[in-house]
Amino acid sequence: MAMDAAEIERLIKEALPDAKVEIRDLAGDGDHYAATVISEAFRGKTRVQQHQMVYAALKGKMGGELHALALQTGVPEDTP
């Protein structure tokens, strides 16, 4: 069963309420997505830790309902 982009975004924002989330369906099949997640919660964390936080937010759906997720994470840019 494929997973909807809105569901992916909802799960991430549920775990990281301040996150700016952009989801792209790479193949049009609901199985292969790319996501960019920007959150203050990532500050001071390694890239691996940031990705683990996003995967945890997906509550075990990675590899099942969600086949592939190309993930980019980061912290908000400081603005003057």
Residue 79 located in a structural domain: no
Total Cβ atoms within 10 A of residue 1:
7
Residue 30 located in a structural domain: yes
Range of the domain at 43: 5-74
Please give the tally of structural domains in the chain: 1
Q: How far apart are CA 66 and CA 39, in angstroms?
A: 22
Residue 23 located in a structural domain: yes
Residue 80 located in a structural domain: no
CATH of residue 17: 3.30.300.90
Residue 21 located in a structural domain: yes
Q: With contact defined as beta carbons under 8 Å apart, do 3 and 65 qualify?
A: yes
Residue 50 located in a structural domain: yes
Cα-based distances in Å from 59 to 15, 34, 79: 10, 17, 33
Residue 13 three-state SS: helix
**Per-residue model confidence as pLDDT tens for the chain (80 residues):** 678 899 999 999 999 999 999 999 998 877 889 999 999 999 999 999 999 999 999 988 877 777 789 999 999 985 44
Residue 24 located in a structural domain: yes
